[in-house]
Structure 1
Amino acid sequence: MIRALLLATALTLPAATAIAQEEPGRLSLTATGEVQVVPDMATVRSGVVTEARSAAEALNANSQRMNAVFEALADAGIAREDIQTSNLQINPVWSNYSAGEQRRITGYQATNTVTARVTELEELGGTIDALVASGANQIQGINFAIEADDHARREARLRAVAELRETANLYAEALDIELGGLLEFSESGGNHPQPPVMFARAENFSADTPVAAGQLTVSVTIMGVFEIED
């Protein structure tokens, strides 16, 4: 029985070797296409932080000032559906550590943050000014974005494909090989993260708080596997 099994194993080895030899060689490559685009919208995170002896007092004071913030956003032309509460917290305020004394709660801090979507970028500086004037004492950041990036993404795809083809042909010539068909293909991509927005001077924001939108990068990365012909 053992001899029969060994014989069967020996007989199957040439077939497995032949199959492995028939596997085509592969050339795997990745390529990225990028397009620089001027953003057409932004989101602003702002809010109010208040402190009081009790949690109820802190929240009440915060609510009053936040109502003024909502009114300021409405006066700036921001639609209600473009405003979203992104953070609401009430936290105790502790006394400083002192040797021989235990820390104790001295009051409470209420924080309320909203994210507003601004589609008129020329009004962005004025919107920030209105928020601060209404009582917002936190401006946590501005993120620029592209509302409709279909055209830019299509251009990035075309650039990525052109780069993939050019690189594949370069390697084929350098390695003296003949490429066959495309065996595998996949895509990934998205907007490159932007650095934190600094309040840099920009002429198109008049006397309002100066904000520079700059540009965003729309990128698409593709991966292709080509067959190497004998």
Structure 2
Amino acid sequence: MSPRTRAAMRPLTLALLCGLALPLLSGAASAQETQPRLTVTGEGQASATPDMATVTIGVSATAPEAGPAMDAASESARAILDRLDSLGIDPRDRQTSDLSLQPIWSDGGPGVAPAVTGYEAGNMLTVRVRALDSLGDVLGAVTSDGANRLSGLTFGLQDPDPVMEEARRDAVADAMARAQVLADAAGVTLGPVIEMSEQGGGYAPKPMMEMRAASAPPIASGEATMSARVNMVFGLGGEAAE
């Protein structure tokens, strides 16, 4: 056979080999798709003592004119910022979250149209307190400096990753335990993990401890609980041996 003839036959040989391999690959994929499967959802939780709090504090002031009302609110806000400086709250941990100015209307009455009688100005500040044992003192101090609004107090973790990892491990262990119970109840063997995915987790506070300080409000920080959820798909084998 000449070299030219052998060269011409190489593509034909490769095509035949590929044609023979395709049914084998297709059969393997089909067998995997028809393999019995078990899908379970596992849930896990992990808790830790919070080491950070986030709180929104603010001031409101009223005056007959808009300018004086805003000036009064701004002066109180500056006093609060100065106090936060003295308490060691880092500038990166405080942010103005809302500025407002709105008219104050009279109620009016029969035959009397409502009228603007003054203005109310507001200045809200969101603050992160990383030294959690000083939270009560911080709130007491800013209140004495003119803060008359308080909302959105939440507790959290400065580094939540280790707690979240523990919750994920707990969720996987829960899913595997559920799968094993179901396989045992059905009298079949539990195969390997085929698919695994994570669903959204969350955080839930649990009141646990309380902090008190002189002239400061009592604060219950509780626990920071992270939750995780995973979906796992297992293959199933034949009947389990007795």
Q: Percent identity?
A: 36
1:213 aligned onto 2:224:
no
CA contact (8 A) 1:37 1:217 kept: yes
Q: Say whether 1:46 aligns with 2:57.
A: yes
Letter in 1 for 2:35: P
Query: Quick check: 1:191–1:216 contact (8 Å CA) kept in 2?
Result: no
Structure 1 length-normalised TM: 0.82
Where 2:205 maps in the other structure, the secondary structure is coil
Q: Deviations over 1:122-180 (max 9, x none)?
A: 11100001110101111113111101122212211221111111100000011223333
Q: 1:22 to 1:133 in 2, by over 3 A?
A: closer
Aligned residues: 208
Which residue in 1 is equivalent to 2:235? 227
Q: Give 2:160's match in structure 1, choosing from 130, 149, 156.
A: 149
- Relative to structure 1, is the Cα distance of residues 37 and 97 closer, same or farther in structure 2, using a 3 angstrom cutoff? farther
For residues 33 and 173 of structure 2, what CA distance do their matches in structure 1 show?
30
- SS state at 1:209 partner: strand
Distance 2:205 2:114 in 1: 41
Larger radius of gyration: 2
Cα 1:140–1:22 shift into 2, 3 Å: closer
| Residues 164-199 of structure 1 deviation map (CA, whole Å, 9 limit, x = unaligned) | 11100000011223333322211134442438x9xx
CA displacement at 1:20 relative to structure 2:
10
Contact 1:201-1:210 at 8 Å conserved across structures: no
2:205 touches 2:222 (CA, 8 Å); kept in 1? Answer: no
Give 3-state SS (helix, strand or coil) of 1:205's partner: strand
Distance 2:117 2:155 in 1: 40
Aligned to 1:74: 85
Q: Secondary structure at the match of 1:39?
A: coil
Closer, same or farther: CA 59–206 of 1 in aligned 2, 3 Å: closer
Distance 1:20 1:54, change over 3 A: farther
After the TM superposition, which residues 57-206 of structure 1 pair with which residues of structure 2 at under 5 Å, given as runs?
A: 57-194=68-205, 202=210, 204-206=211-213
Taking the aligned partners of 2:204 and 2:196, their CA distance within structure 1 comes to: 25
CA distance in structure 2 between the aligned counterparts of 1:34 and 1:26, rounded to whole angstroms: 26
Amino acid of the structure 2 residue aligned with 1:206: A
State the one-letter code of the partner of 1:70. Answer: L
Given that 2:36 and 2:235 are in contact with CA atoms closer than 8 Å, whether structure 1 keeps it comes out as: yes
AA in 2 matched with 1:168: A
Contact 2:209 2:221 in 1 (8 A): no
Contact 2:204/2:226 (CA < 8 Å) preserved in 1?
A: no
Q: CA deviation at 1:218?
A: 1.1
- What's the CA shift for 1:209? 2.1
Gaps of 5+ in 2: 1-29
User: Unpaired runs of 5+ in structure 1?
Assistant: 1-18
* CA distance 1:135–1:173, shift in 2 (3 Å): same
Match of 1:7? none
